[in-house]
Structure 1
Amino acid sequence: MQISDWLTAPKYGARFLDNNQMLDLGLRTTKFRNSSAVAKHIKKLSREFDLMLITEYFDESLLLLRKLMCWSFDDILYLKQNVRADESRSQSLSEPLKDRIRKWNVADTRLYEYFNQTLWKKIAAYGPSFRRDLQYFKDKETYLHNLCVGNATSITNTRRNLTKTRYNVVENATDHCTLMINNEKNVFKRLWVKQESVA
């Protein structure tokens, strides 16, 4: 089903696609289209969270998190997993369709706009070293990828017409590389075993 058709008569999965970020963050479904209630909830969230990460600016967000938490660059390194292949990405959406999506997700849209603005304010407050630190971080990411990543595997979900690229660890990889490229299930299992051993 095309997203334009679904928006005309939202049925299947509607409750999971109706402002679900704000739902996860505690706003009642009856308040999604109440402008003052949404604004009040966003203000509440801004007091409770020192930083919201934005997916499109993930590296920039991680750099701010590093500074906030007094971490090293190594503490925020990551390897991408389950990357959607270019041919599986949706075609460009028309502006009218984008507007319909924003109206359907009006509370989530306002949440995103607010914290996207605060992200760039925090980047400006970071100071002139931000761009230099960001490039240094990206260089470390590239080095880690070259060190740890071997061949790639394409995973296709024919029902959803979706192809993702999954990276495999190199032969004789270090323990660090293996941990970095593990999926979340294996990481949680590893942490669970370690926790049990010290309990």
Structure 2
Amino acid sequence: SLFSSLDAQGPPLGSCRPHNHVMFLKTHKTASSTVLNMLYRFGEERDLHFALPLGYQLGYPLPFNAHRVKGYRGPRAMEFHIMGNHMRFNKPEVEKVMPADTFYFSIIRDPVALAESSFAYYKEVAPAFRKAKGLGDFADDPKKYYDPRLRNNHYARNLLWFDFGLDHNANFSLALARRGEAMIRRAFKLILVSEYFDQSMVLLRHALCWPLDAVVSFSLNARGRSQAKAPPNLSLTEEQREKLREWNALDWHLYKAFNRTFWEEVDRFGRAQMEQEVALLRTRREVLARVCLRDGGKPVEAYRIRDKAIRPFQSGLVKILGYELQPGLDNATRQACLRMIRPEIQYKDLLDAKQSHPSLPMVPFAF
């Protein structure tokens, strides 16, 4: 079958053993839903145990607490393999849930692009964004709109810093920024960069010793095409972009520091080798898109997806797109394709049902 062919394995990885204990800090608006889908697929195919939230997030935006994990009964009462739902990172509590040999990784994004995405997605949720006409107005004078005491305003300032468990309202100083950076370096083995997603997947595959298909994905939780070019209330001047970097100075420091590290990793890996493997990854994605997806694999608006069980959840000003499966697939191929396009919320419900009642046949949950 297509999914058990040699192509599915990808270039050889030497004699490493696949990591089964993985913790992914799912940061906001960084392509992290696509990464979580890969973790869900890998674990589901191998019957691994997920540290799932009681709801859909692990207590976010409060700092993570081990008791937020469904079925957690104290350290080591049960082996959890994979953790990756939204949380505000809190390492001592994560260590109560995850085994000592867990591989920790996360993903970051340029703070200006992140602010654009956050503004579009959380406009109605974050008071600071709700008050501003457009992102440009907010960028011109963030302090006019921003009150640190109001709930959900963390989406409007140093969101990465916040997700990593640090104080996002602290005044910027280089010493503070370096301390936060050092804390993240100690806790995480690998920090991916959303702007270099495919290169990130190659590094991740080698770090985890996973087959190629485990890191091939279709972009999930993406915004509508007409909106991918910034709508008028999102367009920014260069001066406003600079102001957003200042406003998110702690995130900007992290982005520059981990971007440098990322390219050092790529150099160690070998640039020529990286180009080859990225090309393979992209070719494989195209092959799977042709097999799995209707309409040549273009994402479509949710209301046009006939199967309600795979319609993505909608939030904010932008339409979140999803996919339609190619009709007439054989059962095994259909199941493998379905895993690649199943939206995060439905996938979590499915895994939850599987873990709560391992003996029950799986019936997909329909919204």
C-alpha RMSD of the superposition: 2.4
Partner of 1:145: 289
Q: How does 1:1-199 map to 2 (within 5 A)?
A: 1-7=133-139, 8=141, 9-11=144-146, 14-88=153-227, 89-90=229-230, 93-127=236-270, 128-151=272-295, 152-155=299-302, 160=317, 162-173=318-329, 174-198=334-358
For residues 188 and 164 of structure 1, do their structure 2 counterparts lie closer, same or farther at Cα, with a shift above 3 Å needed? Answer: closer
The superposition leaves residues 64-107 of structure 1 with CA deviations (integer Å, 9 ceiling, x where unpaired) of: 01001111101111112343233212165321111000001000
Which contiguous aligned blocks of 4+ residues in structure 1 show a shift greater than 4 angstroms? 155-159
Query: Please, which runs of 5 or more residues in structure 1 have no aligned partner?
Result: none
Name whichever structure is richer in helix by fraction. Answer: 1
User: Whole-Å Cα distance in 1 between the matches of residues 277 and 171 of structure 2?
Assistant: 38
AA of the residue aligned to 2:287: Y
Contact 2:168 2:250 in 1 (8 A): no
For residues 111 and 170 of structure 1, do their structure 2 counterparts lie closer, same or farther at Cα, with a shift above 3 Å needed? Answer: same
Normalising by structure 2, report the TM-score.
0.50
Choose between structure 1 and 2 for higher RCO, CA contacts under 8 A separated by at least 6 residues.
1
Query: Please, which runs of 5 or more residues in structure 2 have no aligned partner?
Result: 1-132, 304-313, 360-367
For residues 85 and 16 of structure 1, do their structure 2 counterparts lie closer, same or farther at Cα, with a shift above 3 Å needed? Answer: closer
Name whichever structure is richer in strand by fraction. Answer: 1
What displacement does 1:158 show?
Answer: 11
Aligned residues: 198
Normalising by structure 1, report the TM-score.
0.88
User: Whole-Å Cα distance in 2 between the matches of residues 32 and 136 of structure 1?
Assistant: 44
User: Whole-Å Cα distance in 2 between the matches of residues 185 and 172 of structure 1?
Assistant: 26
Identity percentage of aligned residues: 23
